[in-house]
Amino acid sequence: MDNKITVGIHQPNFMPWLGYFYKIAQSDIFIFLDDVQFIKTGSSYTNRVSLNLSGESQYMTIPVKRVSGVQNINQTQVLDQKWKKKLLGSLQANYAKAPYFKEHKEFVFQLINFEADNLASYNIHFIEEISKRLNLTTTFFKSSEFQIESTSTQRLVELITKVNGNIYLSGDGGDNYQEHKLYEEAHIELIYNKMPKFQYDQVKTESFIGGLSIVDAIFNIGFDNLISELFTQTLKDI
């Protein structure tokens, strides 16, 4: 296939884990699925994240304003700013002795203190700035820019087509719900993103804790090591 354009699509998560950024790194174009419904109750990864707190994986959450009816991610407002102080305090208390905390503290804390109109804008700013620091060259779009009304697999196919993509980099496990025929009819190759096993020494624990925010890796091993050990790989290498 000539002119291969790989497209990744995902909701704009809050301070995502390494696998999220690995998916971005493998994509030529990455679309933030920002105009889909925010869950009505509880929390999702769009407003919660796991961190190493006292040697255990624990969630930190952004409180959001709840409204009646359908509430899309890009319409979801943050309830208040108190959570930022709590999050920054937790990072200071739990990561202060991490090898790269002092070097990257100001950068990460500035991202957390960023003010945005809604949850999607806040998360997208964090993700794009981290991606720049990782030297990723992926082009970003928001699904809301295309005003597509279809749902499920058809929605993904239309988004990929809008950006002239011909390869869809699906999340690992997406095979359970996708309609493969729709990709075939649109001449889109479906492949699955699988994060390679990647572990590193973490402060306050001897056993590796997976699935944590990329912030954990930044403070423990630093950007340069992340780039050289993980983000120099491409789909051609795996």
Q: Which amino acid is at 169?
A: L
pLDDT in tens, 99-118: 999 999 999 999 999 999 89
pLDDT in tens, 124-179: 999 999 999 999 999 999 999 999 999 899 999 999 999 999 999 998 765 556 78
Report how far residue 238's alpha carbon sits from residue 94's, in angstroms, rounded to the nearest whole number.
Answer: 35
For residue 76, tell me if it sits in a domain: yes
For residue 1, tell me if it sits in a domain: no
For residue 36, tell me if it sits in a domain: yes
For residue 104, tell me if it sits in a domain: yes
Number of domains in the chain: 1
Largest distance between two CA atoms of the chain: 54
Residues 6+ apart with CB under 8 A from 137: none
Residues 6+ apart with CB under 8 A from 37: 70, 71, 72, 73
Q: Which amino acid is at 116?
A: A
> Which residue range is the domain that position 75 belongs to?
6-232
Helix axes 18-25, 119-133, angle to 10 degrees: 70
For residue 237, tell me if it sits in a domain: no
For residue 194, tell me if it sits in a domain: yes
**What mean pLDDT do residues 16-25 have?**
96
For residue 211, tell me if it sits in a domain: yes
For residue 227, tell me if it sits in a domain: yes
What pTM, to 2 d.p., does this model score?
Answer: 0.94
